[in-house]
Structure 1
Amino acid sequence: MSEKRQQINDLFSSALEQSPGEREAFLRQACGDDQSLYAEVESLLLHYDDSFLEESPASEIPSFPGHAMVGKQIGAYRIIRECGHGGMAVVYLAERADREYRKRVAVKMVKPGAGKDDILRRFRNERQTLAALDHPNIVKLLDGGSTEEGLPYLVMEYVEGIPVDQYCDSHKLSVPKRLQLFRTICEALHYAHQKLVIHRDLKPSNILITNDGIPRLMDFGIAKLLNPECFQTELVTLSDRRPMTPQYASPEQVRGEPVTPATDIYSLGVLLYYLLTGRRPYGAAGLSRFELERLVCEVDPEKPSTKVQKVDEVDSAASKGKPSTSPEVLSQARDTSPEGLRRILRGDLDMIVMMALRKEPKQRYASAKAFANDIERHLSGLPVKARRPTTLYRGSKFLRRHHESVAAALIALMLMAGVSTWEARRISRQASSRNAATFRARPSVAILGFKDLSTRPETAWLSTALSEMLTTELAAGEQLRTVPGETVARTKIDLHLPDTDSLASDTLARVRQNL
């Protein structure tokens, strides 16, 4: 590929990541005085087949200046300025007009001229969706109505924040902190699923993080309500329109099949992949509709630990306007080194992400809650559900969780074995010198076993393991005759000795006489 074509593809990919309203300004700044480069990328953007991914007849909506609404009153609120806009709707920052009290809100309304029935239906159903949701991590609906022209609007709480990916990188959050933030997002989505709402458009720009580090899930514009009683207006399904965002779409969305909560699980997997690696599972630069469908539906992405080692294809000297995505830059944004990041991702996190990205919906996590729980198990050092529960894997996880206590137990065991061996040899030498001709028997030592005072089931095996290790160590020099703990236990049973007095002097004397 020529350097010029690589530069065009790089800028095209970067422009797609901008909101539609910001693409032109971004492109002009990135291209500078190179008008031919600007024209090439602009042509790609104009012909980019977004319609198959976004159920939007937005191209038929005439453009209008955002400042036209500034100062006007919508319901009880006066418009201050435009916050952002998409193909069909625009969001304004507003404040109460009656000045009874000061409160800033976000007012979302259909663009003037967007009076098509399907757009109005979708907007009203978004309003009904938000009305059914009341969660601290989901933006709240405060009010709603229709303008004098009959266009619906909704009033939401105003969230001051930045997209989750920008927040994580700007604060250089480590992988564990990113995972904790991601768990909160999963919990909010699980709540929506319990209310029979599927978001269908999860991506960083729809998840804002406040200055306090609180994630807020927003933009339910293409959400699907599974409960017919919640529909404010009847939905009309158009077979040739599939609402989604390309880079975060699930295989069933791309194929136009029915969506379920598993659809959002896939998008969560893409989001986690991006937060961990700084790259999406599939690139979108220059891809046609059919190429993207094939990748999403047929090709498994690279594991995060593999992906993060590579210099992304958009990271080249010819790229303008896009920050480097080299392993060094990515790892620094995650407060570690390239090798450290690869080591963190390899294993559990690889398997967790890949399980969420499985092609078949039934093979993904059963719920967003299950996804969050597996993340929590990983953070707690417990075996995760995404991996096979082999004995070796479970044992290694146990040792990592309790490495301090296990190390202390082994040190104590070694000390006990050393002292016991020294004492046994001392006794043996004394006995040999006193009566070497008549006494040839080795001194004996009985292993009484260890009592687990933690009462934790997962540590019960330590008692037996330590006893066996001590028995082996004492018997190694052949200076002692060791009596295994099983023999001691059987003797106590045969003598009907109570377990509560197992260390009493009388009990020990009777055990010694009968061994």
Structure 2
Amino acid sequence: MTPERWNQVKTVLAAVLELAPEDRGKYLSVACADDAELRRQVEGFLDDEQQISTGFLEREALVDAAADFAERETSFWIGRRVGRYQIVESIGAGGMGEVYRAVRADDQYRQEIALKMVRAGSDSALVVKRFRNERQILAGLEHPNIARLLDGGTTETGTAYLVMELIRGRLITDYCRQQALGVPERLNLFVMVCSAVQYAHQHLVIHRDIKPGNILVTSDGIPKLLDFGIAKILSPEDQDTQDATNTLFRALTMRYASPEQIKGEPITTATDVYSLGVVLYELLTGESPYGNNTNAGEQSIKAILHSDPPKPSTVIRAVRRESETSSGKNRHGRYLNRSSQISADLDNIVMMSLRKEPQRRYGSVEQFAEDIRRSLHDLPVVARKDTARYRASKFIVRHKPGVIAATLVSLMMIAGIAITAQEARIARRRFNDVRSLANSLIFDIHDSIRDLPGSTPARRLIVERALQYLNQLVERVGRRCQLAA
């Protein structure tokens, strides 16, 4: 079996083992629909698992025992000293580690840190390898939005630990909700998270577990990306050995996992783009793209693999309608004021990041973040089809005062030209009327008195006055026509 094939088998098998026996067949029908050999290999491992399992590992009993053991193990470390640090309290737990708040206890200087230790009972070769891999990854990452590694080592009993910057913050979703942030503020916060992920990608590291639980926001509004425990190094010399030695390890969080993670396909930077898209969807709507009950069940897996989620603006409009028909305040009330702020551009940005095919998502996290920045400044985005009409509409939105002023000036100029042209037409009509009168004086009246005795002076006067008036009128009308032109 090749390392790539083993990676697929172990990923599907890890998901199957989390399901009840009666649900496993349905999941395999979905996950292995186009690969009968993959299903055969997974079912072979399941047969071995059933032969090994006996009645003492019932689900409820196992869960209770694990919880009791974890509580005892956590209590065991409180107050103990690890290296230069004394553990004060437990502040979190992950898939393979426990995180404690600790203080430096060597009398050199006072410092509070986060101390992460391999969870008791999880110190297999794979977990220890991943733990050391996380330490190596963090040692090479220096970014203001990534929790810093300060130290690391092993206890006297051989338990591996990391010493990290202590982040006092809240989950990014909780922070946005409690601070009642609007859409622009949420987007700016999210762009900072993208900056951290892009920095990791530039250092050939894929996080693979981006979710609100791994993004804390400090009281200063600075997001920090945590937990590179299942991160993947992209360097060719590390990739083969890392994937080849993986065993049954649940290297994903289903709610934020990409389709390729669920199917056990190759992982790329597009995987982190997808997970970031899920986080952004939640920041905008308060909902998961596939509902808030996402787990390893068949329906959830099928939705992630095959269903397109509704656009964020559609979700918000549905919530508004629900609120209007509800007699009391519903749980979505805090999101209603954002419905008008989610533009068509933002809808398309989110939906592009959540595409099923990795190659159809954004080419990089930086491109994803840049589209968000462009949407904030009403610039054309990659996620929308580029047309002249679309670009013109964005230009108008960006320069609305100038466009309005230019339109008003243009209308005033058009009105002025129309008025001037109208006056010129009136002047020409008057000129024609006067010319007709002058012609009548010169020719009709002149000719009618031509034969009267002593009419010569009168005829001369009529002709002179008519010509003088016509010349003045021609000069005046000519000036008006020049102005009108």
Aligned residue in 1 for 2:191: 183
Aligned residue in 2 for 1:367: 364
> Counterparts of 1:160 and 1:186 in 2: how far apart (Å)?
20
> Counterparts of 2:213 and 2:482 in 1: how far apart (Å)?
70
Aligned residue in 2 for 1:155: 163
> Counterparts of 2:75 and 2:235 in 1: how far apart (Å)?
38
Give 1:84 shift: 1.3
Gaps of 5+ in 2: 1-57, 324-328, 437-473
Give 1:119 shift: 1.1
Q: Deviations over 1:279-314 (max 9, x none)?
A: 0011253865332221111111111111223359x9
Q: Deviations over 1:42-76 (max 9, x none)?
A: xxx967xx9xxxxxxx8997652423222222111
2:335 to 318, 330, 344: 330
1:395 to 373, 392, 415: 392
Aligned residue in 2 for 1:347: 344
Give 1:97 shift: 0.8
> Counterparts of 1:253 and 1:168 in 2: how far apart (Å)?
28
> Counterparts of 1:305 and 1:324 in 2: how far apart (Å)?
18
Query: Which piece of structure 1 moves more, 418-427 or 219-228?
Result: 418-427
Q: Letter of the aligned partner of 2:227 in structure 1?
A: D
Gaps of 5+ in 1: 1-44, 51-57, 316-322, 447-479, 483-515
2:272 to 241, 264, 280: 264
Aligned residue in 1 for 2:444: none
Q: Letter of the aligned partner of 1:164 in structure 2?
A: I
TM, length-normalised to structure 2: 0.71
1:251 to 250, 259, 277: 259
Q: Letter of the aligned partner of 2:331 in structure 1?
A: T
2:144 to 136, 148, 163: 136
What pairs up with 1:398-477 in 2 under 5 angstroms?
Answer: 398-430=395-427, 432-434=429-431, 436=433, 437=435
Change beyond 3 A, Cα 1:249–1:442: farther
- Do 1:305 and 1:346's aligned partners in 2 also have CA atoms closer than 8 Å? yes
Q: What is the alpha-carbon root mean square deviation over aligned residues? A: 3.1
> Counterparts of 2:264 and 2:250 in 1: how far apart (Å)?
6
- Do 2:254 and 2:294's aligned partners in 1 also have CA atoms closer than 8 Å? no
> Counterparts of 1:241 and 1:433 in 2: how far apart (Å)?
98
Q: Deviations over 1:263-283 (max 9, x none)?
A: 000001101100000000112
2:410 alignment partner, SS class:
helix
- Do 2:374 and 2:380's aligned partners in 1 also have CA atoms closer than 8 Å? yes
Aligned residue in 2 for 1:295: 303
Q: Letter of the aligned partner of 1:356 in structure 2?
A: S
Aligned residue in 2 for 1:278: 286
Q: Letter of the aligned partner of 1:343 in structure 2?
A: S
TM, length-normalised to structure 1: 0.67
> Counterparts of 2:479 and 2:119 in 1: how far apart (Å)?
97
> Counterparts of 1:286 and 1:434 in 2: how far apart (Å)?
86
- Do 1:428 and 1:442's aligned partners in 2 also have CA atoms closer than 8 Å? no
Question: Is the aligned partner of 1:76 residue 2:76?
Answer: no
Q: Letter of the aligned partner of 2:139 in structure 1?
A: A
> Counterparts of 2:375 and 2:272 in 1: how far apart (Å)?
21
Give 1:343 shift: 3.2
Q: Deviations over 1:413-457 (max 9, x none)?
A: 2222333333444455445545642879996569xxxxxxxxxxx
Among all aligned residue pairs of Structure 1 and Structure 2, give the percentage whose two residues are the same amino acid.
45
Q: Letter of the aligned partner of 1:256 in structure 2?
A: G
- Do 1:207 and 1:216's aligned partners in 2 also have CA atoms closer than 8 Å? yes
- Do 1:209 and 1:216's aligned partners in 2 also have CA atoms closer than 8 Å? yes
Aligned residue in 2 for 1:508: none
Query: Which piece of structure 1 moves more, 241-250 or 191-200?
Result: 241-250
Aligned residues: 378
Change beyond 3 A, Cα 1:103–1:286: closer
2:109 to 82, 85, 101: 101
> Counterparts of 2:131 and 2:75 in 1: how far apart (Å)?
22
- Do 1:284 and 1:292's aligned partners in 2 also have CA atoms closer than 8 Å? no
Give 1:112 shift: 3.2
